[in-house]
Structure 1
Amino acid sequence: MPLYKTLSPNSQTTVKIWNITESYEALLQPVKLRDESMARVLGMKSELHQRGFLSVRHLLAEFGYTDADLYYDENGKPHLKDGKYISITHSFTFSGVIVSDTEVGIDIEKQRQKIGVIAHKFIGYEFDYLLNTAEDYINKLTIIWCIKESLYKLFATPGMLFREHFLVIPFMVKDEETIAWIDYNDRKYRYETRFLEFDGFTCAYVC
C-alpha cells in the first residue's frame, strides 16, 4: 500500500498522497464500489485513469471513508456525506486527497516543459515576477498552475478564468507556501496556499 506522504497543514486539515505503483487488478480487488462508480471505471479508456480513480478510493479508506461516502454536485465538485470538505486530484502515477473542516482544493501535476507554451493562457499578473526567475521558470509555472487549479476546485463556479480571476503572490520555491487571491464579481477572497515538489511532480493545496 504505497501511501507516499501524509501532511497536516493545520489541526483541521489532512493531505494524503498515493504513489500509484499497483496494477489495475490489485487496486480494484480490495475496494467496494457503488454501481455508478464501477460503471465509470469501466467506461474509462485509459488504464492510467482507472488506476488513478481506484487509488483515490484507497486514499479515502486511509481517511476512514468508502466510495459510498463520496458524492458529486452539479458542478462536479466532490463532497463527503459527513459534512467535511474534500478535494481530489490525480496525475499519471500520483493521486492526492485533502480533507478538512473548511473548504479546500488540491492539485498534482507532472512537471513538463510544455507548460511554458500555454503559460499565457493562465498567467497574467504573475508574469511581472516570473520573467526574472529564468532558472526555475518551469517549476514556478507548474506551482502557479497547481495553485490556480486548486482554487478553481475549491470555488467550483462556472465562468471563472485562471488568468483573469486568480492571482498568486510572488514566492520562492524553497518557501513551499504563498498567498493567493480570487477576484471575482467585485469580491476578493484570500487563501493560504502550500506546495511541494517530489519525483518530478508538483502538488499544491489551498485552504
Structure 2
Amino acid sequence: MPLYKTITPNSQTTVKIWKITESFNDLTREIILKPASSERVLGMKSELHQRGFLSVRHLLKAFGYSDADLFYDENGKPHLKDGKNISITHSFNFSAVIVSDLIVGIDIEKQRDKISIIAHKFIDYEFDYLNETASDYIRKLTVIWCVKESLYKLFCTPGLSFKQHCLVIPFSIDDVETISWIDYEEKKYRYNIQFLEFEGFTCAYAIA
C-alpha cells in the first residue's frame, strides 16, 4: 500500500505514516539497503519486524532519503546525514517517520487491553486523573504511553524514566493534543504533544 497519511504540524516538520500490507518480497523492491541493514533485516526472527523495518525505508524514500542517509548514534538514536532530525516507529502493521529541523520524537502503538496490566510501570501522576472504569481508559493509557515514548526518543538521555520523569497533563481523547513535561535532574522541560488514532492504533509525536 502507498503512504497512509501525511501530516505537516508546522513548516519545519512532516510526519508520514505507512500501512504495511505488502509482503516481505514486495517491500524489498525499489529500495537499496546498506550491507549492515541487509544483515540486520535478515537476522530478524519475525517477518512482522522485517516488514516494519522495510516499510520505514519506503518512508525514507518518500521523504527523498535512502537507507544510506540514515545512521544511529551510541544511544541508538537515528540521525540523517543532512543534519535534519528524525524519529522512527513501527507497531504491527503501521510505521511512521517524522523529519524536522527541530528535535522530535514519535511513537505508534496498537490499542490493547493488556496495557492496563503494565500501567503501574509507566504511570504515576496520571493515575490522579484517569478513571479505570471509563470507556476510553485503554485509549488514554495508550496515548500516555505513546507520549512518554516519543519524549524518551526526543530527550534520548540514559536513565530517563517514563514513570518518574515524564508527566502528561489531563487531556480528552477528542483534544488530539496535550502538554507534557520532563522533570529531570532539577530541570523542567515543557512540550506540546499531538496525537491521533486510526484503525485501533494511537500515534503521538513530540516537537521541541
Q: TM exceeds 0.5?
A: yes
Q: Tell me the secondary structure at the aligned position of residue 16 of structure 2.
A: strand
Tell me the distance in 1 between the aligned counterparts of 2:192 and 2:103: 12
CA distance in 1, matches of 2:171, 2:22: 36
2:45 aligns to what?
45
Q: Aligned with 2:136: secondary structure?
A: helix
8 Å contact kept, 1:2–1:21: no
Corresponding position: 1:88 with 2:51: no
Secondary structure (helix, strand or coil) at the match of 1:134 reads coil
Give the equivalent residue in structure 2 for 1:199.
Answer: 199
SS of residue paired to 1:71: strand
Amino acid at match of 1:105: G
Equivalents in 2 of 1:132, 1:45: separation in Å?
Answer: 36
- How many residues matched? 207
| Contact 1:179-1:193 within 8 A present in 2 as well | yes
Question: Could you tell me whether the CA contact under 8 Å between 1:85 and 1:102 is conserved in 2?
Answer: yes
Distance 1:132 1:34 in 2: 47
Equivalent position SS for 2:124 = coil
- What letter corresponds to residue 187 of structure 2 in structure 1? R
Distance 1:10 1:143, change over 3 A: same
For residue 135 of structure 1, give the secondary structure of its aligned residue in structure 2: coil
Q: Give ranges in structure 2 of 5+ residues lacking alignment.
A: none
Q: Shift in Å at residue 164 of structure 1?
A: 0.2
What is the CA distance between 1:47 and its match in structure 2?
0.4
For residues 34 and 202 of structure 1, what CA distance do their matches in structure 2 show?
31
Residue 158 of structure 1 and its aligned partner are, at CA, apart by 1.1
Q: Which residue of 2 aligns with 1:34?
A: 34
Rounded to whole Å, the distance in 2 between the matches of 1:50 and 1:164 is 33
Indicate the RMSD between aligned Cα atoms, in angstroms: 0.9
Deviation, structure 1 residue 2: 2.2
Q: Distance in 2 between matches of 1:147 and 1:43?
A: 30
SS in structure 2 of the partner of residue 45 of structure 1 = coil
SS of equivalent residue, structure 2 residue 203: strand
What is the identity, as a one-letter code, of the residue corresponding to 1:117?
I
Per the TM alignment, residue 132 of structure 1 is displaced from its structure 2 partner at its CA by 7.0
Identity rate of aligned residues, in percent?
A: 73
Q: List gaps (5 residues or longer) in structure 1.
A: none
In the superposition, the TM-score normalised over structure 2's length comes to 0.98
In structure 1, the residue matched to 2:150 is 150
